[in-house]
Amino acid sequence: MIFFFLFNFNPLIWEMVNSCSQESIFYNVLRLQNFQTRYSLSESAFACANFLYNKLLAYRLDSVYFQTFLPNYSPNVIGIKRGANQLESIYVVLCAHYDAISSNPFLFAPGADDNGSGTSALLEVIRILSNYNFEKTIRFIFFSGEEEGLLGSYYYCSLAKYVYEDSIISAINIDMIGYSIEGRDSASIIGKPNNPNCQPLVDYFISCADTYTNLRCIRAIIDRPRSDHASFNRFGYIAIHIRENLNINNPYYHTNGDTIGGGFNDLNLVYEITKATIATIASLSNPISSNILPIAKKILYNKKKIENRNILYNPLGQRISYNVKKGRMYFLKERNQFKKLIILK
């Protein structure tokens, strides 16, 4: 006998997923890389925390604050979107660490994949979900001190458990989602087999991905406490880790080469994972209504018009001089700014 996992299609969630923008994700990765280093103990990690804080304010979340966990370490940045049910200590978590590391971390630790990719995915999820109302409260958390041993998330979870006694419905941790090799552009959805049992959340994420996106998911029910989800698990909370295919190793991991075009080489994978994350967080939080005003139509250029221009850039910022393909996204540069283009024919 075959059992089907029934999953209701929700047009409101479909609208959210389709609002996701590769361009917006790309610019955020670029912005994060441009901090030069986001090493937790560096000055520019504090600058990055401010950048994230201001982004969350701009997206009009209900509450935005820093959580300092150790002196000299840049703080966690937390944004809360209140649910209509008014239950603030029962909530869904979406998190990513924004700090980075390399062999000379005070000088240069670009961390485009680890974890500029996850940080940018979170910013994009927040940009979109901020336009909707949900029944449940959602917390978006940018952790610091991950590379020094999950310090920021450990602090957050220990307080959540023993001081605030929060009920966390589910936590999703996004860490390293922008690297692939040919034929392996898929995501590993990693959940602990027991204490706590995270398998249902893994299956839930995969169902959302299957319903709303083209993402290929690999189900991994293993104990792999190598990122911030482990802090949630440690305090008994259900939390899973979303990352690029677990069976490939990013050769630029924790090096100066973790830049756009090096350690970060697959914008489309980040895009699909971000869409799946939007669908999962929205489904878990039960959307009620939309605040969106009618959106202005995109300006589409045709191929002939583009070919009259001389230099195009792909979403990785690389110059493309010929072989422009239908349906792909390219950019023009004007006064050092990228301008979006979508090619029709």
Between residues 180 and 285, which has the closer beta carbon with respect to Zn ion?
180
Minimal distance, residue 40 CB to Zn ion, in Å: 12
Degrees, nearest 5: CA angle 47-48-50 = 65
Stretch that binds Zn ion, among 111-119, 127-135, 248-256, 293-301 (CB under 5 A): 111-119
Between residues 109 and 341, which has the closer beta carbon with respect to Zn ion?
109
DSSP letter at 297 equals: P
Degrees, nearest 5: CA angle 75-81-84 = 155
Q: Three-state SS for 245?
A: coil
Alpha helices per DSSP H over the chain: 11-17, 22-33, 43-58, 118-129, 151-162, 199-212, 229-234, 267-285, 303-307
Residue 87 CA, chain-centre distance (Å), reads 25
231 lies in the binding site for Zn ion (CB under 5 A): no
Residues in 16-75 that interact with Zn ion by CB under 5 A: none
Q: How distant, in Å, are the alpha carbons of 54, 55, 70, 274, 335 from that of 118?
A: 18, 15, 23, 9, 29
213 lies in the binding site for Zn ion (CB under 5 A): no
Minimal distance, residue 278 CB to Zn ion, in Å: 21
Residues in 161-190 that interact with Zn ion by CB under 5 A: 175
Q: Which single residue is written with the structure tokens 């802090």?
A: 231
Q: Which residues pair with 330 in a beta bridge?
A: 341
Which has the closest alpha carbon to 230: 215, 249, 243?
Answer: 243
What does the alpha-carbon distance between residue 249 and residue 305 come to, in Å, rounded to a whole number?
A: 41
Minimal distance, residue 258 CB to Zn ion, in Å: 10
Minimal distance, residue 97 CB to Zn ion, in Å: 6
Minimal distance, residue 264 CB to Zn ion, in Å: 13
Between residues 232 and 330, which has the closer beta carbon with respect to Zn ion?
232
Between residues 149 and 193, which has the closer beta carbon with respect to Zn ion?
149
37, 44, 115, 280: which one binds Zn ion (CB under 5 A): 115
Stretch that binds Zn ion, among 14-22, 114-122, 254-262, 324-332 (CB under 5 A): 114-122
Stretch that binds Zn ion, among 7-15, 106-114, 178-186, 245-253 (CB under 5 A): 106-114
Q: Which residues pair with 122 in a beta bridge?
A: none
Minimal distance, residue 254 CB to Zn ion, in Å: 9
Residues binding Zn ion: number (CB under 5 A):
3
Minimal distance, residue 245 CB to Zn ion, in Å: 15
Between residues 131 and 256, which has the closer beta carbon with respect to Zn ion?
256
Contacting residues for 38 by C-beta, under 8 A, at least 6 apart: 32, 44, 45, 48, 74, 98, 99, 100, 109, 111
Residue 301 CA, chain-centre distance (Å), reads 29
x/- map, 271-310, Zn ion, by CB under 5 A? ----------------------------------------
What does the alpha-carbon distance between residue 218 and residue 197 come to, in Å, rounded to a whole number?
A: 18
114 lies in the binding site for Zn ion (CB under 5 A): yes
**Footprint of Zn ion on this chain (CB under 5 A)?**
114-115, 175
